Structure 1
């Protein structure tokens, strides 16, 4: 730890919601007491403090208590768990959905169900750490390909099939990469996987609720996507996660997944809030597209102001700064202007690509972009 450079040392800061759902206030420091507009969290649709979600969580709290008290296979299952699983399966067009307490656990379970020591996993170089840990735990052989590079995937698939025609293959990617704001060409990727008899796992954590038809994610309706993982701690404004797949693999998860079996069930109030969020998202299928359109406007203005155009078209807009300390300086600069964003530094992102990760929310005031551009110009 002594060798860790000061500009790369992480610090915990505690926040409390301030009046107005788009603002957060630093807790415990008089010097940081002014509320800041939230451009950092993943609450894309602004549902975290939505009255419908709060009411649903409170009602379930009265019915079921704070926690489930046991795993789903012991005494932890509640009617609300089954209700959310069924609603999600219907919304996503999948046979089976299983809930998990966290996205990390869900991804571990997904890899364990789809790969073992006889399998080779081909993974995008920028996939989430939880997926890499899952591959390591499975004992599978890992081969990584350049970010969103279809040609690299094709070459790896062909090489694996030529070497061992019957070897199980699994391709792993995300539909919206959380630090890049980019998305793969999933239609072409699914075609490659079908051609080479490879399973495909897509982590939809950051896309669900925002991207794809009516916010159903970019994997929705694509033939050849074996399993998707998703979370409720982002656009759904709650907590917990899920896996969605076919009947056979759903039963494999239920019968053999340690990440599902040996953990206390997702807290019922969080489940109820996620179910309420899903119903709101289904009732407002245009919310995600509105956020996408706003993100394009922001990208246009940032590019016009001289910044490298943030990649992608979703609500995550990375502004590449380069050096760690320069990114931290930009973070503090924006905080002085009343905007909360966080400098993302290695090892979370590649060396030399420290950045500000700007995140759009549906409930940001209209003047936020003007404030941001003015603050960046002052630096």
Structure 2
């Protein structure tokens, strides 16, 4: 087994070492890093709610009412009224029977998948699925099959093969509504037709769709009016919602089973009730006319930068090599823009890229400057 120093040297040689670059300012659309003021095109604050005054006031109010910490896991004495109120509101908003909140999206996936399937079952993953889905599938002990990105014909073939040999096995298909590094959307309605034809379950990760898509910002499931057909709707509260944490919405029975089997939920101290209290305020804004105004502004910014009618605020510029992506990111930094270079293992080898993410909070000046900087 190699030493840490040897592994680090290898990562550096491959252009794959990561280091922390702390900000010297709040993480808004205008940030300071290494003493330099930059337009921030790196964050997932799609609606600009991370700095919304009403949400900040609700956070402060929550601390005053419920304290800074929850002191224990949810099953001991860490469940407070805001946790239950948030879960009820999420379930209603996502057209589901019940909901459960977790400390992060990663913890949510690690809770759901090993609780839903085991060693005699199967998990089918889109090739571009997030690491949390992949790691959770491995942890479950189920047999894993991977289908090419959004390839429903291959998914159908895999499901048919599995069902022919394992009529009684649980099969879970896991995918994302909006893929975080590519900005692509899954063909949700057609995918559900395939999943249902083989009596499989669907886990849909709406991390990058929540707040952005749908008439009230409740994601692709709401936009396509198929929420009632999805076994598990998960998503994060750290992107468009502007806070932290995550959720899963499902049937009452599934949520009750997760309370009893989801190890990240059972064995973690509950997220502070103040965060749940603030998230209720964020959820209310997202679903309101104000939320619609934020989504409209976001789409205007997308159109201004890309010239398209896309609803997705993730714009990848694939450059191929790690060196090319790092040089491009440094060049943009010198020009006054914070844009991350995304490399393996976050994306497949030889597809290193710049990942530009837009926010409703970006002013016209920032969008116009970024557009000019990207022109050859």
The question of a shared fold, defined as TM-score above 0.5 by the shorter chain, is answered with yes
**Deviations 1:219-244 (Å, cap 9, x if unpaired)?**
23314210111111100110111111
Structural mapping, 1:165-314, within 5 Å: 165-220=167-222, 221-222=225-226, 223-283=228-288, 284-286=290-292, 287-300=294-307, 313-314=311-312
Specify every segment of 5 or more residues in structure 1 that has no aligned partner in the other structure, as ranges. Answer: 27-31, 302-310
Moved more, 178-187 or 59-68: 59-68
Aligned-partner Cα distance in 1 for 2:231–2:179:
19
Distance 1:66 1:326, change over 3 A: same
- One of 336, 339, 350 as aligned partner of 2:337: 339
Structural mapping, 1:49-198, within 5 Å: 49-198=51-200
Deviation at 1:280, TM superposition (A): 0.7
Q: TM-score, normalised by structure 1?
A: 0.92
1:25 maps to 2:32 = yes
Deviation at 1:313, TM superposition (A): 4.0
Tell me, yes or no, if the aligned pair for 2:72 and 2:269 is still in contact at 8 Å.
yes
Aligned-partner Cα distance in 2 for 1:59–1:245:
30
**Where does residue 29 of structure 1 map in the other structure?**
none
Deviation at 1:289, TM superposition (A): 4.4
Aligned-partner Cα distance in 1 for 2:318–2:94:
34
Moved more, 354-363 or 289-298: 289-298
Specify every segment of 5 or more residues in structure 2 that has no aligned partner in the other structure, as ranges. Answer: 1-6
Aligned-partner Cα distance in 1 for 2:363–2:299:
16
Tell me, yes or no, if the aligned pair for 2:203 and 2:231 is still in contact at 8 Å.
yes
Give the secondary structure class of the aligned counterpart of 2:307: helix
Aligned-partner Cα distance in 1 for 2:194–2:134:
22
Give the secondary structure class of the aligned counterpart of 2:355: strand
Tell me, yes or no, if the aligned pair for 1:231 and 1:240 is still in contact at 8 Å.
yes
Deviation at 1:352, TM superposition (A): 1.2
Tell me, yes or no, if the aligned pair for 1:199 and 1:224 is still in contact at 8 Å.
no
Aligned-partner Cα distance in 2 for 1:363–1:213:
20
Q: TM-score, normalised by structure 2?
A: 0.92
Deviation at 1:293, TM superposition (A): 4.5
**Where does residue 372 of structure 1 map in the other structure?**
370
Moved more, 368-377 or 45-54: 368-377
Aligned-partner Cα distance in 1 for 2:229–2:374:
43
**Aligned length, in residue pairs:** 363
**Where does residue 44 of structure 2 map in the other structure?**
42
Aligned-partner Cα distance in 2 for 1:16–1:101:
25
**Deviations 1:102-127 (Å, cap 9, x if unpaired)?**
11111111102221111111110111
Distance 1:365 1:168, change over 3 A: same
Aligned-partner Cα distance in 2 for 1:196–1:293:
41
**Deviations 1:270-299 (Å, cap 9, x if unpaired)?**
212211110111113423344234324422
Tell me, yes or no, if the aligned pair for 2:305 and 2:368 is still in contact at 8 Å.
no
Aligned-partner Cα distance in 2 for 1:332–1:241:
32
